[in-house]
Amino acid sequence: MTKLNGRVALVTGAARGIGAEIARVYARAGAKVGVLDLKENLTRGTVASINEAGGQALAIGADVSDAAQVRRAVERVVEEFGGLDIVVNNAGVTRDNLLFKMTGDDWDTVMGVHLRGTFLVTQAAQEVMVGRRYGRVVNISSTSALGNRGQANYSAAKAGIQGFTRTAAIELGPFGITVNSIGPGYVDTEMTRATAERLGVPVDQRLAEVAATLPMRRAGVPADIANAALFLAAEESGFVTGQVLYVDGGRSVR
Ligand code: NAD
């Protein structure tokens, strides 16, 4: 298994779903992990599961769209664990609606968490990473960046993350820092379960419908994304930068 021994990671939106699984996989690989979500108490479950498995984790409450809270969060990780090597910008929300019904708030909320959040966390982290001449930044984009009905805000934000990733890769490469994104397809989490509920479709039916459209004939699970995030966080992946790795059961090539 890929090793992250001696590394320090910060994973945003890690209270549940994909972020929680990335935090657990990183900890299992030997990293010390800052587990960040909106409120510190939300992260307790992820932190407990890491500690019970013999890993080290720090619970952090912060809103990724708030510059002061992000700064403080990065400082806490550095104070507690002595550095910062890996950042995963995973925190996310949806405010789905058809374009003609989408409100300005729906737009701003999604942009604030995904785009502004990714910008603020990466900016604060790179200050530490540049000094150490080493870093791995993993941004969670989505196949929705390719277009998805009802998600004009989310699609624009996730496509924006890809442009941000490429530009940050150019600027930070000379300092030993790689910046990549992962484009998950449909992954079974509370986020997608809430969407199915909102549409009035039973979760199992929704998962079966998704599976039928995909070459791999199944929906994704958080571990699928965490495995890709482990690859991109590894020291050995140091020649991979500015890329989007779609982890989508083949949705983007079907
Ligand atoms: P989720 O809703 O289960 O988890 C998202 C987490 O982010 C939550 O714990 C939430 O509290 C946290 N969060 C939201 N706003 C925040 C903020 N301002 N500051 C800090 N934390 C905040 O979602 P998930 O399915 O695990 O998604 C994780 C990431 O993967 C998101 O970026 C999402 O857009 C992306 N993604 C998910 C899927 C999918 O099918 N589930 C597909 C493609 C991309």
- pLDDT tens track for 75-90: 999 999 999 999 999 9
Residue 2 resides in a domain: no
Residues 61 and 115 in one domain: yes
- Counted domains in the chain: 2
Q: Are residues 198 and 112 in the same domain?
A: no
State whether 180 and 198 are in the same domain. no
Among 151, 191, 195, the mutation site with the greatest number of ligand 1 atoms within 8 A of its Cβ is 191
On whether residue 1 sits in a domain, the answer given is: no
Beta strands in 72-157 (DSSP E): 86-89, 135-140
Q: Is residue 3 part of a domain?
A: no
Is 96 inside any structural domain? Answer: yes
150-193 per-position pLDDT tens digit: 999 999 999 999 999 999 999 999 999 999 999 999 999 999 99
Q: Is the pTM of this model over 0.75?
A: yes
The identity of residue 13, as a single letter, is: G
Q: At what angle do helices 67-81 and 117-132 cross, to 10 degrees?
A: 30
Q: Are 158 and 195 members of one domain?
A: no
Residues ≥6 apart with Cβ < 8 Å to 130 = 172, 175, 177
> Is residue 98 located within the same domain as residue 159?
yes
**What pLDDT, on a 0 to 100 scale, did the predictor assign at position 160?**
98
Secondary structure class of 10 (helix, strand, coil): strand
Supply 157's token pair: 């934000």
**Is 134 noted as a catalytic residue in this protein?**
no
- The pLDDT of 197-211, averaged and rounded, is 95
Locate the ligand 1 atom nearest the alpha carbon of residue 113 and give its number.
Answer: 18
Q: Which residues does ligand 1 sit against, CB inside 6 Å? A: 12-13, 15-19, 37-38, 63-65, 90-93, 113, 117, 140, 142, 184, 186-187, 189-192
The verdict on residue 146 lying in a domain is: yes
Q: What's the mean pLDDT in 219-230? A: 98
153 and 128 share one domain: yes
Please give the Cα distance from 31 to 43 (Å, whole number): 17
Q: Is 163 in the same domain as 196?
A: no
Mutation probe of ligand 1 site: the residue of 10, 11, 18, 248 with most atoms within 8 A of C-beta: 18
Place of tokens 């571990």: 223
Please tell me the distance between residue 181's alpha carbon and the centre of ligand 1 in angstroms: 15
Q: Are 149 and 191 in contact (CB under 8 A)?
A: no
Domain match, 243 and 201 both: no
Q: One of 26, 134, 154, 246 is an active-site residue; which one?
A: 154
> Each residue of 8-35: pLDDT tens digit?
999 999 999 999 999 999 999 999 999 9
Measure 1 CA to ligand 1 centroid, in angstroms: 26
Domain with 200, as residue range(s), is: 189-219
Same domain? 148 vs 210? no
Distances (CA, A) of 230 to 95, 137, 214: 29, 11, 24
Answer yes or no: do 118 and 214 share one domain.
no
Residue 145 CA to residue 117 CA, distance in Å, equals 17
Residue 202 lies in a domain: yes
Taking only Cα atoms into account, the Rg of the chain, rounded to an integer number of angstroms, comes to 17
CATH code where residue 140 lies: 3.40.50.720
Residue with CA closest to ligand 1 atom 19: 63
Residues 157 and 227 in one domain: yes
Do residues 148 and 215 share a domain? no
